[in-house]
Structure 1
Amino acid sequence: MSDETMRWAPAVPAANHPGGALRRWASGWWSVVHLVLHPLALALHVTALVLLVTGTALVPVLGIGFLLLVPARLLVAAGAHLERYRLAAVLGVHVPASGPCPVTGAWWRQLVLDPRPWRRAGHLALVSTFGVIGAGVVLALAGTGLAALAAPAVSAGLGHAGEYSWPFGIPGTLHAPALLVAAAGVLLLALTPPVARAFTAVEVLTARALLGPGRGEREAVLRRRVETLTETRSRTVDSVEAERRRIERDLHDGPQQRLVSLAMQLGMAKRALDRGGPDAAREFLDAASSSASAAISDMRHVARGIHPPVLTDRGLDAAVSALAAASPVPVDVEVLLPAGGRPSPTAEAIAYFCVSEALTNTAKHARASRAVVQLWHEAAPGAGLLRLRVSDDGVGGAAPAGGSVADGGSGLRGLGDRLAAVDGWLHLDSPPGGPTVLEAAVPWTVGGDR
């Protein structure tokens, strides 16, 4: 399949894809596993709920309840963490943790009025009732189905060669009841995954509502998000303007001067040709040819600084390898990206310029003997992250250890602003004496897929 075919092939929804219904049914057995695990954590959940309710009821009695609320909150938090982990490990559902305590004031106010333990306790109560009921239902369906499938064979093994014993002593022949019982067993087993998915769907919704951030926390996150986007948009505009001025300066200092020199040399060659013939003009034409070659080289250099062609044609691995080959400091390159897959062009470009800026700073300031560039794909919600790390064994001191990118040079600040605008991040760790480590991450599909 060609690249263009892969790029423009429409995505087929899993439900409509051939075999998608069967895969969905088979994945429902993970819901069965999730429900069956409920009784194993029942003791922890019930103990946490009993301590929480009892401690709250005894708070007015000389504050005795506080002695129970502390372990109750710890057990409730442990139960919520266990449920979060189980949802992620078995069902692949990631529920974010809630934020800090929204209640201010004395410690006892936070202990009693903090809504997070009560929301978690509500979820544990649901798990201890609805979840256990769901576990019983799916176990009954699966167990009865397996028993129905095994019943004819067991009956034949017990010597009922001509008859099959129905419940309550109702006689019947072996052949016809065996088919009916086997069909009933298959039907029950076929119904088990969808029923389990229905139970776990309710549980996932309640887990996101009760274990995740509350409404106030979500609104605060959205406000911070708007503030961040407003700030990064302003910095990105400034960064783009600075990049435009850099390109204008490079064109003025490089190709423009070469072209002016070329025009002057061609004018002198023309006048020499009029006065002394071809031999007199040859020297000026040779100089003009050299100026034209230098102008082409300068234009390629400027274009490479805007977007290198090798990045578009051959991808990030080849482009970073070219940077490493051109660096005066020996560079080891380690690229671990999915076979046959590439990040979006925006993600590739940002990662490329991060590596380019880091290697440029290493060559100019680090006095390093070796550098290492690492790029890899990191699993994350959505399509994941494109991660990179550039390290060297130089003298360090580019920024305080653990400091922000704002402490670095204008190039790093521009990259940090560009990354922040697309929900990425950049971190520089360069203590005096070294080593210097620059790490960055950008969403895999930022700016659109290929």
Structure 2
Amino acid sequence: MSDDTMRWAPAVPTVPAAPGAPAADRPTGALRRWASGWWAVVHLVLHPIALALHLTALVLLVTGIVLVPVLGTGFLLLVPARLLVAAGAHLERYRLAALLDVRVPAPGPCPVQGPWWRRVVLDPRPWRRAGHLALVSTFGVLGAGVVLALAGTGLAALAAPAVSAALGHAGEYALPFGIPGTLHAPAVLVAAAGVLLLALTPPVARAFTAVEVLTARALLGPGRGEREAVLRRRVETLTETRSRTVDSVEAERRRIERDLHDGPQQRLVSLAMQLGMAKRALDRGGPDAARQFLDAASSSATAAISDMRHVARGIHPPVLTDRGLDAAVSALAAASPVPVDVEVHFPPAQRPSPTAEAIAYFCVSEALTNTAKHARASRVVVQVWREDALGRDVLRLRVSDDGAGGAALADGTVADGGSGLRGLADRLAAVDGWLRLDSPPGGPTVLEAGVPWTVGGGR
């Protein structure tokens, strides 16, 4: 599986409260948003610390460009400049993810073909990164100065009444930023001004960082051509998986029809015949003559119920809906002829969406079925956990056994894994999931799958 197929979209911004939401919820959301704005303040305050790296990279880049006509000596500076620009861009991505929870995916490989000097000069990625570093070194540092001035003045205003009283100059306050003169004002008014300045600091910081986030996504992320190529591949994948999913659903419908015809239907026909014979025996010979037919009818009814449960379990097991993935996978392990160890690493209260649960359940079910039929394994381990993949929660699972191996995956589809795994691969691809199989001859076999945590809607 390539890195592109494993790349997820950035985290979705928080949706504001609906107009009809209870009034008690709105202040809590506004307060939480205000408090989170202090992370934007921290992000801006760190700009001057990274300024030395950014300015060094920009100076080397500009100097290298100027010296290129001088016998090509500028190329000697462009190489370290590119490295420093890349390091600065990586630092900015890390700070955005760590402090603002904004994940900017890295761009793809160099789109320019040809000799190395052509790639150095015409590769658009370093120039876009340099543009972002220039913005951070100017607009970002300006934002850092503004929020530091607001926060510093607010803290000074809060402390000013106590300091003024301690110095014996109650009601007299020096003006900030070295402005000559004094201010005469009540202590309550000065403290209120300090609270107001501190309250304004997070929204102002968020405004500055909003501009920075937009430019980071435009300059540090994939370019327009790369995004269009990703969309084209996405459309092609959806077109292919849609047709395969339709075929898989049709095959599943035929399987259910066959199971119903060969199992419960035959049992119910036998039950009807036995009840009819019991009725005739009751009319002719009394209760004793009808007893054997009633016993046979009871056995047929029990078998029909068992068959119906088996068919229903193949469609969607009730235990999965009622008790979640942990209980459903444990039930599969208990019914497996091969000993199975189950490890579920998220609490039952944190359940994925029903669609994600169902897909993960059938992945485990198909893997255990194939292991029992073909692997000749003595032990199977099933692991299920929740994982953060570039800002998006993913339900991950791994099924490993110590069997003979020999199954194969090719280009994201199952080559020799049978129609069951092929259908699972198509179903996973249709919901932005993936399936990977590592099964060398002689074993062991490891099947891994990932599906978005909230595919098809959350709980």
TM-score, reference length from structure 2: 0.88
Q: 2:253 aligns with which of 216, 229, 244?
A: 244
Where in structure 2 are the equivalents of 1:258-273 lying within 5 Å? 258-269=267-278, 272=281
Post-superposition offset of 1:131: 0.5
Mark the CA change 1:13 to 1:271 in structure 2 (over 3 Å): closer, same or farther. Answer: closer
Deviation at 1:316, TM superposition (A): 1.4
Using the TM superposition, give the Cα deviation of residue 78 of structure 1 relative to its aligned residue in structure 2, in angstroms: 0.9
Paired residues in the alignment total: 439
Q: Is the 8 A contact 1:404 1:428 kept in 2?
A: no
- Per the alignment, do residues 13 and 64 of structure 1 end up closer, same or farther by CA in structure 2, a change over 3 Å counting? farther
Runs of 5+ unmatched residues, structure 1: 1-8
| Cα distance change on mapping 1:283 and 1:20 into 2, 3 Å | closer
Of the candidates 180, 197, 214, which is equivalent to residue 188 of structure 1? 197
Residue 33 of structure 1 is matched in structure 2 by 42
Change (3 A) 1:169 1:244: closer
Q: Aligned residue for 1:43?
A: 52
1:109 equivalent to 2:118? Answer yes
Distance 1:296 1:178, change over 3 A: closer
Corresponding residue for 1:418?
427
3-state SS, counterpart of residue 378 of structure 1: strand
CA contact (8 A) 2:387 2:395 kept: yes
- Distance in 1, Cα, partners of 2:23 & 2:212: 23
Q: Deviations over 1:178-202 (max 9, x none)?
A: 3333232222222211111111111
Q: Which stretch has the larger CA shift, 76-85 or 280-289?
A: 280-289
Cα distance in 1 between the residues matched to 2:240 and 2:293: 54
TM-fit CA distance, 1:339: 4.9
Structure 2 vs 1, CA of residues 48 and 67 (structure 1 numbering), >3 Å: closer, same or farther?
A: same
Q: Give the Cα–Cα distance (whole angstroms) in 2 for the partners of residues 165 and 230 of structure 1.
A: 71
Q: Provide Cα deviations, 1:15-66, integer angstroms capped at 9, x if missing partner.
A: 9623222222221111110001001111111111122222223223322222
Structure 2 counterpart SS, 1:407? coil
Match of 2:453 in 1: 444
Q: CA–CA distance in 2 between the matches of 1:153 and 1:279? A: 104
Equivalent residue, structure 2, for 1:94: 103
Q: CA deviation at 1:230?
A: 0.3
- The 1:22/1:274 distance shift into structure 2, 3 A limit, reads closer
Q: 1:170 to 1:298 in 2, by over 3 A?
A: closer
Counterpart amino acid of residue 164 in structure 1: E
Amino acid at match of 2:420: G
Look up the match of 1:6: none
Find the residue that maps to 2:437 and give its secondary structure.
strand
The 1:77/1:400 distance shift into structure 2, 3 A limit, reads: same
Q: Which amino acid is the alignment partner of residue 211 of structure 2?
A: V
Q: Does structure 1 residue 164 correspond to structure 2 residue 181? A: no
Identify if the C-alpha distance between structure 1 residues 283 and 129 changes in structure 2 by more than 3 Å, giving closer, same or farther: same
Match of 1:377 among 359, 374, 386: 386
Work out the CA distance in 2 between the residues paired with 1:332 and 1:94: 36
* Counterpart amino acid of residue 303 in structure 2: A
Question: Is 2:161–2:170's contact at 8 Å kept on the other side of the alignment?
Answer: no
Structure 1 position 439, deviation (Å): 1.2
Q: CA deviation at 1:393?
A: 2.3
Q: Which residue of 2 aligns with 1:74?
A: 83
Q: Which residue of 1 aligns with 2:234?
A: 225
Q: CA deviation at 1:299?
A: 1.6
CA distance in 2, matches of 1:91, 1:13: 28
CA–CA distance in 2 between the matches of 1:125 and 1:403? 41
Q: Using the aligned pairs only, state the percent identity.
A: 86
Residue 166 (structure 2) pairs with residue 148 (structure 1): no
Superimposed CA distance per residue, residues 209-228 of structure 1 (whole angstroms, 9 cap, x where no aligned partner) = 11111111111111111001
Measured after TM superposition, the shift of residue 102 of structure 1 is 1.6
* Equivalence for 1:198: 207
CA contact (8 A) 1:28 1:197 kept: yes
Give the 3 Å change call, closer, same or farther, for CA 138–165 of structure 1 in structure 2.
closer
Answer whether contact 2:342 2:382 (CA < 8 A) is retained: yes
Q: Alignment partner of 2:397: what SS?
A: strand
- 8 Å contact 2:160–2:173 — kept in the other structure? no
Q: CA deviation at 1:248?
A: 1.9
Tell me the amino acid that sits aligned with residue 352 of structure 2: P
Using structure 1 for the length normalisation, give the TM-score.
0.90
User: SS of the residue aligned with 1:432?
Assistant: coil
Q: Is it true that 1:21 corresponds to 2:30 in the alignment? A: yes
Residue deviations 1:71-104 (CA, integer Å, cap 9, x gap): 1111111111110010000011111111121222
* Letter of the 1:45 counterpart: H
Which of 44, 61, 64 is equivalent to 2:70?
A: 61
Report deviation, 1:394. Answer: 2.3
**DSSP-derived class of the 1:379 partner:** strand
Q: Report whether the alignment pairs 1:130 with 2:139.
A: yes
Give secondary structure in 1 for the equivalent of 2:350.
coil
Conservation of the 8 A alpha-carbon contact between 2:409 and 2:415:
no
The structure with higher relative contact order (CA 8 Å, sep 6+) is 2
Per the alignment, residue 356 of structure 2 pairs with 347
Superposed CA RMSD:
2.7
After the TM superposition, list the runs of 4 or more consecutive aligned residues in structure 1 that deviate by more than 6 angstroms: 13-16, 400-403
Matched residue SS, 2:342: strand
Structure 2, unaligned runs of 5 or more? 1-16
**Helix, strand or coil at the partner of 2:442:** coil
Matches of 2:44 and 2:37, distance apart in 1 = 11
**Residue by residue, what CA displacement relative to the aligned partner does 1:319-344 show, whole Å, maximum 9, x if unpaired?**
11111111122222222224523222
CA contact (8 A) 2:35 2:202 kept: yes
Change (3 A) 1:448 1:161: closer
